[in-house]
Amino acid sequence: MQGAILVLSGPSGAGKSTIINHASDEIGEYYFSISTTTRKPREGERDGVEYYFVTHEEFEEGIKAGEFLEYATVHGNYYGTSLKPVKEALEEGKLVIFDIDVQGHRLVRAKMGDYVTSAFITPPTLSELKRRLYARATDDSSIIERRIANAKEEIKAVVEFDFVIINDDIEKASKEFATIANAARLKQSHQELENFVKIWDN
Amino acid sequence: MQGAILVLSGPSGAGKSTIINHASDEIGEYYFSISTTTRKPREGERDGVEYYFVTHEEFEEGIKAGEFLEYATVHGNYYGTSLKPVKEALEEGKLVIFDIDVQGHRLVRAKMGDYVTSAFITPPTLSELKRRLYARATDDSSIIERRIANAKEEIKAVVEFDFVIINDDIEKASKEFATIANAARLKQSHQELENFVKIWDN
């Protein structure tokens, strides 16, 4: 497979989507991995756009069939990444971008480490995260508090990532993201390198 | 320390200097690490430009004093990298570029892995390397044959590098190099990250 994987993690409110959109002209074609979930769609969410929405039974059949690259349960709902579209995109030589949590990062790295570059995206401080989550006012305060508690846990995992983008300036953060995405494309898998060595010397 | 290290390795004739010169506008300010050697200067070589030229005794005093980040003997001559200018450049936040062999890469990574990004630069094939070495005609054929033998050994180490640049097109190779150099600058040391985590959550 010729493609590359870029895993993005970081708290809700870090600005991941904004950064990707901002940098999209600079990073060329990519496939944004869509997660599968058993949670109910929220208003405005469309199947195959924000998530693939499936039933609990469908998800568990997928687990048994080994269809998931990674999955986890969060508050009683399954969230996971199907392997098939990722493999297809890699075979087409695409950069596959994941927006998953630090647990998902560990699993993807364990299974496909050869292809993985990862970046943790974070607001500069906890108080700035709080400010952003309350300012956008899309969630009630119990959800926001849960997100803040999650963020405090997740930030401890930054050392596991190849890069950390501190989003205190959207222009700077987007530029850093584009540099990282373009470098991620240049990462070769061991398999490719071994083939190269074989061919090189004859 | 805020800087970053970019180690470049690859056979003589891979085009490393050409690539660095070609990309220099895109990669910003950097410090190119100058090696210290006990071999005699060749015609046109200046102390402090191509190498720091020292005596055998001076080099061995440096070894005893722990002044070298890495060193090796090649055909009876010492070659090494002094730690002091590297540390100074890192403290100034600079990108430090090394042009060293695969053994040097191992040593630098072992000692300063937190700061290191590495790229192996190579011609696309062994026969192309031969063609280039004979075409530039600066060395006699016994030296060229030794370089080819070294290259056959060194190519086996490509899997140890973060990136491999196959120099079959100078424009493409320079662009890849610039992307890698700019990503290298974004690599944070564990120490920096641990400080960030400490400060983040309060």
Q: Minimal Cα distance from A162: which residue of B?
A: B187
Q: What are phi and psi of B168, to 5 degrees?
A: -105, -5
State the amino acid at position A170 in one-letter form: I
Supply the ipTM of this predicted assembly: 0.85
pLDDT tens, per residue, chain B with 202 residues: 689 999 999 998 899 999 999 999 999 889 999 999 999 998 899 999 989 999 999 999 999 999 999 999 987 999 999 999 999 999 999 999 999 999 999 999 999 999 999 999 999 999 999 999 998 877 788 889 988 999 999 999 999 999 999 999 999 999 999 999 999 999 988 888 999 999 897 6
Q: Decide if A150 touches B, using CB distance below 8 A.
A: no
Predicted pLDDT at A188: 87
A4-200 CATH: 3.40.50.300
CA-wise closest residue to A37 among A68, A5, A6: A68
Beta bridge partners of residue B82, listed in sequence order: B68
pLDDT in tens, A90-133: 999 999 999 999 999 999 999 999 999 999 999 999 999 999 99
Q: What is the pLDDT of residue B56?
A: 96
Which of B166, B186, B197 has its CB closest to that of A180? B186
Q: B154 and chain A: CB distance < 8 Å anywhere?
A: no
* CB < 8 Å from A in window 112-131 of B: 122, 124-126
Distance CA A107, CA A69 (A): 8
**Does B179 sit within 8 Å of A183, measured CB to CB?**
yes
Query: How much is the pLDDT for B136?
Result: 81
> Residue B7's closest CA among B83, B81, B98?
B98
Interface of B with A in 23-52 (CB under 8 A): none
The structure tokens 């790229």 sit at B119
Contacting residues for A84 by C-beta, under 8 A, at least 6 apart: A67
Beta-bridge mates of residue B77: B74
Q: How far is B167 from chain A (nearest CA, A)?
A: 13
Nearest CA to A155 out of B186, B193, B190 is that of B193
Residue with tokens 């497979």: A1
- Residue B36's DSSP bridge partners are B52, B80
Q: Is the CB of A83 inside 8 Å of chain B's CB atoms?
A: no
Q: Which residues of B touch A186 (CB under 8 A)?
A: 163, 165, 176, 179-180
Euclidean distance between CA atoms B157 and B149, whole angstroms: 14
Q: What is the pTM of this model?
A: 0.89
Task: Identify the helix (H) or strand (E) that includes residue B46.
Answer: none
Q: Is pLDDT of A61 > 80?
A: yes
A200 to B159: CB separation less than 8 angstroms, yes or no? no
Amino acid at B27: I
Ordered by start, the domain boundaries in chain A are 4-200
Radius of gyration of the CA atoms of chain B, in A: 18
Burial class of residue B5 in the structure, from the number of CB atoms within 10 Å of its CB (0-12 exposed, 13-18 middle, 19+ buried): buried
Is the Cβ pair A201, B158 closer than 8 Å? Answer: no
Contact in structure between A36 and A69 (CB atoms under 8 Å):
no
Q: Nearest chain A residue to B150 by CA: give it.
A: A201
| Of residues A164, A183, A188, nearest to B183 (C-beta) | A183
Interface check B186 vs A, CB under 8 A: yes
Asked if A183 lies within 8 A of B163 by C-beta distance, the reply is yes
Residue A16 has pLDDT above 90, yes or no: yes
Maximum CA extent, chain B? 65
Q: Looking at residue B139, what is its pLDDT? A: 76
What's the per-residue H, E or C state across chain A?
A: CCCEEEEEECCCCCCHHHHHHHHHHHHCCEEECCCEECCCCCCCCCECCCEEECCHHHHHHHHHCCCEEEEEEECCEEEEEEHHHHHHHHHCCCEEEEECCHHHHHHHHHHHHHHEEEEEEECCCHHHHHHHHHHHCCCCHHHHHHHHHHHHHHHHHHHHCCEEEECCCHHHHHHHHHHHHHHHHCCCCHHHHHHHHHHHCC
Question: Which residues in chain B are contacts of A190 at CB distance < 8 A?
Answer: 159
Looking at beta carbons, which residues of chain B come within 8 Å of A178? none
- State the CB neighbour count (10 A cutoff) for residue B82: 19
Q: In what order do the strands lie in the sheet with B36-37?
A: B52-53, B36-37, B77-82, B68-74
Give the distance from residue B146's alpha carbon to the nearest chain A alpha carbon, in angstroms: 15
Confidence of residue A192 (pLDDT cuts 50, 70, 90): confident
- Burial degree of B129 (CB within 10 A; 0-12, 13-18, 19+): buried
**Residue B166: its chain A contacts at CB < 8 A?**
196
| Chain A hits for B179, Cβ within 8 Å | 179, 182-183, 186
Query: Would an 8 Å CB–CB cutoff place A172 in contact with chain B?
Result: no
pLDDT digits (tens, 9 = 90+) for A148-162: 999 999 999 999 999
Mean pLDDT across chain A = 93
